[in-house]
Structure formats: C-alpha cells, structure tokens
Copies of this chain bind each other. A is one copy, B any other.
C-alpha cells in the first residue's frame, strides 16, 4: 500500500470512491459494535464467581484482629484488606484506607473535601477564588468531568513516552499557588497505555508547589493489569519516593479491584501519608459509620493475598491479550504503512490510543458511527472535551469479542482512510 502523501489528487479521488463504496456496504449491514468504555467482558467476570462462595459460617466474617465485618465501625477497613490493596498499589497497610466500592468515588470525595473543608487545614478551595488543576493529556475523561463539574480550571500537560512533561509541571506548580492538583494514571495510563519512567516519578515526588494544599492525585488503576507474562511495565513507588524526598504529603494514591473482581462491586482504597490520612478520616467520619467490610473480607477470603490477585490477573490477560493483538494486527495491516495514524502498543491496561492526522478525529468518529461502530467521542480524553489537534481517539477493546473487534477495527481503519483523503481533497465530510 502506498502512503497517501505521495499520491496525486486523481489517484486519491479514485481511492476515496472505492472507500465510500466499502462504507456504504457496511452501512447496509446495520452493525452495532461498541468500543466506547473500559468494561470487563463477561468472560472476565465469570472468572470470579467463586468470590460469593467464601462466606459461609459466622467465623468467616471475623477478621484477624477480631473485627466482626458484619457490624458497624472500623473506618479504615480490616487489616488484611489494607494489606491486600496496599501490596497491589505499593502502600503499607497503615497507609491505606479501604473506602467503598469505587476509587473514582474516593477521588471525587477527596476533592469535595478540599472544596468544602480544605486540604489538611488549609482554606476550602471554594473560598480561595478560582483554582486550577493540571491534567496530563490524553487522560481519563471522568477525572476531567469531576473538575469541570466543580468549576475547577483545567490546564493541559502533555503526556510523553516516559511520563508527563515535567519541565512544564515543575514550572507551573512552582509559580502558581492556585494550582491545587495534578491527575496522573502512572501505569498503563488511560488511554495511551503509557507508564511513567523513574525520572518522572522522582520529579513528581519531589515537587515543591507554591500551594501548600497541592496534591498529586495518583490513580493507580492498572497496577496489576498486565497483558503479557514477560513484557511488563514497572512504575516506581511514589509513596516511597515522596518519603525519600521528605515530601510525604504530596500524593494520594488510589486503587480498586473493579477490573479484578467485579466492576463496581470491588473494593477501593486511598493510600497516603499520616497527615493526609488523618485529614481524610476526619472527613469520612462525618460521611458514614463505615464502609462495607463484608466485601472487604470477601475479597480477602477469595484472593488470599497479592499472589492470588496476580494469578487471577494472568487469567484476565489471557482473555484481554488476543483482543489487543487483534486491534493492532488489523491496524498494522490496514493502515500500518500509510502514515495516516499513530497508535500505542501497550503492555497492559484497558486502552489503545490512536492519533489521526490533525483535524480528522471527529470525522473518523462520525464515520464509524455511520458504519455501526461506537467509539468514545473524539476529544473525550481532553479537558472540556477539546482535543486541540482533533486527532486523538481512544480504543477500548475489552468488552467486545475478538471477532467483533476485528470487524470494528477494520471499520475504524476504513474511517481513518476516508477522513484523511477527505481532508486532503477538502471534501467537507458530509457526503
């Protein structure tokens, strides 16, 4: 296949006529393929049916330190669940608060606490006038939605191959005391699959922000979500690095088992310094008499320890890997040589990031829709849904079957070709 760049207008016109025919053929098929969200597939969920067979006798509900998980209390969670989640996200049990079913909700809650009460005794965000946040882009749409909803101004920071553009991060947080946070997904980042290198983690852990109430919001969502047994990214432990830098209060770490046990029915945690923990517990104590400890002990009885989780995640990988490989092999075959898109080849996580030529992503999304393939809207991975280059698309291959992914990715490739040639020929994209 020849690159479109060196082709004449006439050749491109001929090509697009052919491509439109292919599109029209797909339209007649009335397909309904969905690659919008990072949802586990039923086959992954089936792996965990045993988790609801481990609590039988009343002794099964009693934790090692004699806590009856069926009753109120014990705000930070039972020790063995703190250990389980701590081992997963690089925290000591005493740094962990197991706080419900959803790490996103904990993140929201921590920010809401900052809004209404202030972080560690500082003035509430809502009483500080305009505040800002650094958003590593492309990033997780729901992180940005929270900030937009709460009226916090978002500033884009580019994600490079080894982490955020740290020169910019350091410069901004040093000079601007209205910047209160940065969103990071350090391992197999949503949506690029990028993992932060050691330099980036060390520089983040050593940040000296102008704002005392600045924190790194470290969403370690994919800590054990490797695709390959032998090709695995490892990210430095930011809690340890922050301690080394005498900067322990700089970071909140978040994790959950939503993509390990059941989505939305797992256990989630925040891990942080003693100061931060005290501050958060004061808040949690107002909110609730306690989080669901039965679900905590259920997860402990089922997985036993971090090795149990790792073994379980190998089974997930066996289901996920062929899906990622199908996305990549179709893209390689269909557009690999055309220089009309770049895409990531992650070793883990839930997404592939694809960049079209600037100005094409919205059109690709629309073309896919016409052909029966739903993708996350173009721009979704950016604050305010605005991709400055209109080139980014997030591919979520976890939920559909391998065959569906094959079809959907072929359609995506076709859409990229069409959008690229339309742009070159200045076709307005509405024919």
A43 to chain B, nearest CB (A): 10
In Å, the complex CA distance between A265 and B263 comes to 17
The answer to whether the Cβ of A288 comes within 8 Å of any Cβ in the partner chain is yes
Chain B residues, CB < 8 A from A287:
102, 104-105, 108-109, 146
Q: Quick check: B265 and A69 within 8 Å, CB to CB? A: yes
A45-B71, A58-B46, A116-B115 are known contacts. Are A264 and B292 too (CB-CB below 8 A)?
A: yes
Picked from B39, B57, B70, the residue with its CB within 8 Å of the CB of A45 is B70
| A344-366 interface with B by 8 A CB criterion | none
B104 touches A289 (CB 8 A): yes
- How big is chain A's contact interface, by range? 35 or more
Cα–Cα distance between A124 and B68 once the two chains are bound (Å): 40
- Separation of A94 and B102 alpha carbons in the complex (Å): 24
Q: Which residue of B lies closest to A108 (CB)?
A: B287
Set of chain B residues within 8 Å of A295, measured between Cβ atoms? 265, 292, 295
Cross-chain contact A265 with B294 (CB below 8 angstroms)? yes
Which of A47-55, A197-205, A423-431 lies on the face that meets chain B? A47-55
Contacting B at CB under 8 A, from A36-86, are 37, 39-40, 42, 45-46, 48-49, 52-53, 55-58, 61, 68-73
Return chain B residues, CB-CB under 8 Å to A293.
264-265
Which of B58, B115, B149 is A286 in contact with, Cβ under 8 Å?
B149
Select which of B40, B112, B289 is within 8 A of A102 by beta carbon: B289
Is A310's CB within 8 Å of the partner chain B? no
A145: which of B57, B68, B72, B286 is its contact (CB, 8 Å)? B286
Given contacts A45-B71, A265-B295, is CB(A288)–CB(B57) below 8 Å? no
Q: Does A100 contact B (CB under 8 A)?
A: yes
Interface presence of A160 (CB below 8 A): no
- Chain B residue numbers with a CB within 8 Å of A150 are 116-117
Query: Cβ of A286: which chain B residues have Cβ within 8 Å of it?
Result: 108, 145-146, 149
B105 near A116: Cβ-Cβ < 8 Å: no
Oligomer copy total: 2
- A142 an interface residue at 8 Å Cβ cutoff? yes
Q: State A168–B101 Cα separation when bound (angstroms).
A: 42
Contacts A40-B71, A71-B40, A72-B39 hold; do A262 and B102 have CB atoms under 8 A apart?
A: no
Given contacts A45-B71, A55-B52, A291-B101, whether A117 and B264 have CB atoms under 8 Å apart is no
**Is A336 engaged at the interface, CB distance under 8 Å to the other chain?**
no
Q: How far is the CB of A138 from chain B (nearest CB, A)?
A: 19
Nearest Cβ on chain B to A340's Cβ, whole angstroms: 33
In the docked arrangement, what's the CA distance between A55 and B293, Å? Answer: 18
Tell me whether A104 and B288 are in contact (CB under 8 A): yes
Q: Which residue of B lies closest to A42 (CB)?
A: B68
Asked if A16 is an interface residue, CB under 8 A from chain B, the answer is no
What 0/1 readout, one digit per residue, does chain A (289-306) give for beta carbons within 8 Å of chain B?
A: 111111100100000000
- Contact (Cβ within 8 A) B294 A262: yes
- Could you name 27 residue pairs across A and B whose Cβ atoms are closer than 8 Å? A39-B71, A39-B72, A42-B58, A45-B68, A45-B71, A49-B57, A52-B298, A53-B53, A70-B263, A71-B264, A72-B258, A72-B264, A100-B100, A100-B101, A102-B287, A102-B290, A104-B288, A117-B149, A124-B126, A142-B289, A149-B286, A262-B294, A264-B288, A264-B290, A264-B293, A264-B294, A292-B292
Residues of A whose CB lies within 8 Å of any CB of B are 37, 39-40, 42, 45-46, 48-49, 52-53, 55-58, 61, 68-73, 100-102, 104-105, 108-109, 112, 115-117, 124, 126-127, 142, 145-146, 149-150, 258, 262-265, 286-295, 298
List 7 A-B pairs, minimum CB-CB distance, nearest first: A265-B294, A52-B55, A70-B262, A105-B288, A45-B70, A264-B290, A108-B287
